[in-house]
Structure 1
Amino acid sequence: MQFIKKIFVFPRIIYFFIPIIIITFLFIILHTNAVEISSIEFIGEATLPKGLIFQKTEVGGLSGITYNVKNNLYYAVSDDRGQKANARFYTLKIDLSKGSLQKDGIIPVSVPTLLNENSQTFSPSESDTEGIALTNKATVFISSEGDAVKLINPFIKEFSLSSGREIATLPIPNKFLPDKTSQQGIRNNLAFESLTITPDKKHLFTATENALIQDGAAAKPNIGSPCRILQYNLLNNQPEKEFLYQTEPVAPFLNLIGKFASGLPDLLALDNQGHFLSLERSFTGLGFAVSLFQVSLEGADDIHTIDSLLAVDAKNIKPVQKKLLLDLRKLDVLLDNIEGLTLGPKLPNEQQSLILISDNNFNSLQRTQILAFQIKIENTLIRFLRRLLPNFNN
């Protein structure tokens, strides 16, 4: 009889723990808030007029973009090295109110000039501003590629939105700095193109567009390049981790002029757990190849203590995980030199918008092109329910 009672007591214990297990599981899922993009849809293209002059500056070289949800404005940084005007970024309005981007949907609003810590404009060639990311303090971080040939170091600086004045400078690890021997550091024009900040504003990420000199070769036809993602802690403004990002090999197409370039021009943090969108762009000889990837740092090795990948067995290093989201060559769009991306506002159907922007290099044969997409972002709980219940989306 006692044995029978024990049999009936055992299930009651299970029933007691099942709710605890479920609640704990849901708490972990909701707490991590990790996200993934499950779909992407093209919703329009717009271009700015060639040679557009706005507030006495030529609009062009727009290499990075970020979005301010509070005032529905975008900030796009120009990579003009002081040849056309002083270092600057542009404030833009991009109209997605109808759920798509119309051909005339881009309006320039203002042109803040960037000032150094002494409230002076940057000297010509002193900066090559490429990436931009918004903080929650009415400031933006902006990255510069520097100039490896002239031994001008890259930088990541914080600027006031209201005055354009420099507020802070992040330290750059020595391995990224060019030296007189040309044996280490960034390659010219292949440095800190990308810049992004996590939603909780605690971490900033940038990446080299191609390999550091001591890490491997620059991208070539049918050969990718090992880039480094650099992570900063914005609580103390210090670099803390680095990760290996391998760009995809790209085949040239009718490359009669013999020019080829390929790399990682931008990253976009999707959550606080190391999930990103990455943008890879290549000039293939006849037009551009542009791809979007979903990226995860999960399981990737921290390589910040490794000064040279060529000095170790890089095969033992776990790179970041990548999954192709979209090859933009499949769109019915003539692609230009796409270099920047940012999340925009929620669309009228409550789906998330994504904006891509091109750098026209102030070239009369190129365009400042803006592409808009609708993306569906799912957190861990939604993905779990969708996989558990096949008809959940219905």
Structure 2
Amino acid sequence: MQLMRKIFTLPRIIYFVISILTISLLFTNLITGPIEISGIDFIGETSFIKGLTFQKTEVGGLSGITYDTKNELYYAISDDRGQKANARLYTLKIDLSKGSLKNGGVVPVGVTTLLNENNQTFSPGKIDTEGIALTNKATVFISSEGDAGRLINPFIKEFLLSSGKEITTLPIPKKFLPDNNGQQGIRNNLAFESLTITPDQKHLFTATENALIQDGLAAKPKIGTPCRILQYNLLTNQPEKEFLYQTEPVTPFLNITGKFASGLPDLLALDNQGHFLSLERSFTGLGFAIFLFQVSLEGADDIRNIDSLLAVESKKIKPVQKKLLLDLRTLDVLLDNIEGLTLGSKLPDGQQALILVSDNNFNSLQRTQILAFKLKIETPLIRLLRRFFPNFKR
């Protein structure tokens, strides 16, 4: 009883401090907790003119894009393997000041040549840069698919924006690396297309575009493919987790050419709790099928210790959760080869912009297409307010 009396006779300041800490923790969770996309609206498109050049380089092959909030600039990586010019990224300005994207609303304002650790340009054919993600240190991480057929490993490297020089290389787990027998690792041109960093800058994610050889089949008509999401800890620069991502089966339409390709070209981290947007892109023989999904890692199994999905009962593995956000075929837009996505600037009404970009493959029959959307994002705080005030509007 004496102990209880002492507890209840503690100075009031202690109770006050405890109350403040409790309220602060609750408020922090409401502000930084997981978010949900409650809606998406298309707000315009534009395309570059055919054969656009900037600073003596052909602008094209834009496979990934990221946004610099501080400087209101976008950085887009070209997947040119050194055939048109040295490996490079472009700095873009995108005008959404009127709440929509108009024709001519995207212009290149800079180009940065990528340099290796020896301050030299990358040799042609040795690099296939596909994904890009901005840090808060004026650097970008860039992923390369490598070349499985020539046993050139994929990579994830960090580059200075000021000079384009490589400063960090992340280790790639052995299971992702191609071997001499063609029995393991990435498939050619189906590797690390995606790259994203969480808002708190603590984790980086990439994913294979299709299954590793030892994990299952590449995507085929009416058959999806098991991709691996790879999570890095950016405090240690080490890989720490892997997750199964299953792409959707897609049915070709009037596939006269017989060509088909489908996979996961990009991911976008929405928060620090494992919620993403994912982009699935398919060439169906007659145009492209593009899907946007909301993705959650909640409840998904960590498969980093499984070297081959074919060697285990993969049906018992819990994949990431997916929810279809938008089938872009429902838009009144002729879609091109969309491969990259990023959150963009805040729109005049305070909502968040989403930008998608296409890789024209330096093909005269294709376009560098930029699509803009308005996301309706709900944080835990907004959802709580709606619960108590049904008519609440942002």
Kept in 1: contact 2:31–2:379 (CA 8 A) = no
- Whole-Å Cα distance in 1 between the matches of residues 280 and 52 of structure 2? 27
Aligned to 1:107: 107
> Aligned runs of 1:145-224 on 2, under 5 Å?
145-224=145-224
- Whole-Å Cα distance in 1 between the matches of residues 87 and 291 of structure 2? 29
Q: Is 1:381 matched with 2:381?
A: yes
Describe the SS at the equivalent of 2:175.
helix
Alpha-carbon displacement from aligned partner over 1:257-296 (angstroms, at most 9, x marks no partner): 1000000000000000000000000000000000100000
Q: CA deviation at 1:178?
A: 0.2
Q: CA deviation at 1:392?
A: 3.3
Q: CA deviation at 1:33?
A: 1.7
> Aligned runs of 1:265-276 on 2, under 5 Å?
265-276=265-276
Alpha-carbon displacement from aligned partner over 1:315-348 (angstroms, at most 9, x marks no partner): 1110000000000000000000000000011011
- Whole-Å Cα distance in 2 between the matches of residues 248 and 331 of structure 1? 19
Describe the SS at the equivalent of 1:294.
strand
Aligned to 1:88: 88
- Whole-Å Cα distance in 1 between the matches of residues 101 and 24 of structure 2? 43
Aligned to 2:58: 58
Unaligned runs of 5+ in 2: 1-18
Kept in 2: contact 1:26–1:381 (CA 8 A) = no
> Aligned runs of 1:242-261 on 2, under 5 Å?
242-261=242-261
Aligned to 1:4: none
RMSD across aligned C-alpha pairs, in angstroms? 1.6
Q: CA deviation at 1:385?
A: 3.5
Q: CA deviation at 1:70?
A: 1.0
Letter in 1 for 2:310: L
Aligned to 2:16: none
Aligned length: 376
Kept in 2: contact 1:133–1:195 (CA 8 A) = yes
- Whole-Å Cα distance in 1 between the matches of residues 28 and 350 of structure 2? 26
Aligned to 2:130: 130
TM (normalized to structure 2)? 0.93
Unaligned runs of 5+ in 1: 1-18
Aligned to 2:241: 241
Q: Is 1:371 matched with 2:371?
A: yes
Letter in 1 for 2:168: A
Aligned to 2:340: 340
Q: CA deviation at 1:302?
A: 0.4
Q: CA deviation at 1:27?
A: 4.2
Q: CA deviation at 1:25?
A: 8.8
Alpha-carbon displacement from aligned partner over 1:203-240 (angstroms, at most 9, x marks no partner): 00000000000000000011100000000000010000
- Whole-Å Cα distance in 2 between the matches of residues 206 and 348 of structure 1? 32
Aligned to 1:303: 303
Letter in 2 for 1:125: G
TM (normalized to structure 1)? 0.93
Describe the SS at the equivalent of 1:303.
coil
Describe the SS at the equivalent of 2:44.
strand
Q: CA deviation at 1:376?
A: 1.0
- Whole-Å Cα distance in 2 between the matches of residues 387 and 176 of structure 1? 46
Aligned to 1:277: 277
Q: Give aligned-pair identity as a percent.
A: 81
Aligned to 2:11: none
